[in-house]
Amino acid sequence: MKAFVLAFNDGLDVEQDFLDQLELASFIQNWIFLNPIIFLVSDESVHFLAEAIRKYDPSRWFFITEIAMGANNGLQPPAVWNFINSPQAKNATPNWISQLVSSIPKTPPEPPARAVNPLSRPAKPTPPTLPSTNRPLPSLRKISEALEALKDNKDKK
């Protein structure tokens, strides 16, 4: 059995009639609806499932893909990860709803302190400024050159 993810991208809600059809379809062994995504379990190919969805409603825009084992990541309750990583027929997982509900945290997890885009370039640091003038502090090299110039001028006198 394989796990699939199905999403409609037309901005419309998933109708109860569609969910009822999933329950009746012999080629769908199990499913979870987490609005707006539906996770499916089936032995069929992604192409077969896509054609079945097109026959049900040819005007809806959708996306369906097989979930490759180990090639997924995200933040989901443990019961969803169990469903995805160990796809089983509904009769083999009778308590999936209670597992899902019990695994949902009472409060959402704290987001990361600061999301960093690994592809973005780091911002150039702002040079420190003199408090009274709000002008940038001279670099150490410029200070050294100025001191050397003062020393040279003093030696020449």
Arithmetic mean of pLDDT over the chain: 77
Neighbour count for residue 34 (Cβ, 10 Å): 13
Average pLDDT over residues 63-85: 87
Over residues 9-15, mean pLDDT: 74
More confident residue, 98 or 47: 47
CA distance 109 to 94: 28
Does 139 score more than 90 pLDDT?
no
pTM above 0.75, yes or no: no
CATH architecture of 2-103: 2-Layer Sandwich (3.30)
Evaluate whether 105 touches 80 at the Cβ level (below 8 Å). no
* Confidence (pLDDT) at 77: 85
pLDDT at 122: 62
Residue 70 — φ and ψ, nearest 5°?
A: 80, -5
Residue-by-residue DSSP string for 79-131: HHHHHHHS---GGG-TTHHHHHHHHS-SSPPPPPSS---TTSPPPPPPPPB-T
Residues in CB range of 78: below 8 A, 6 or more apart: 99, 103
**pLDDT higher than 50, residue 93:** no
Peptide bond connecting 138 to the previous residue in cis, omega within 30 degrees of 0: no
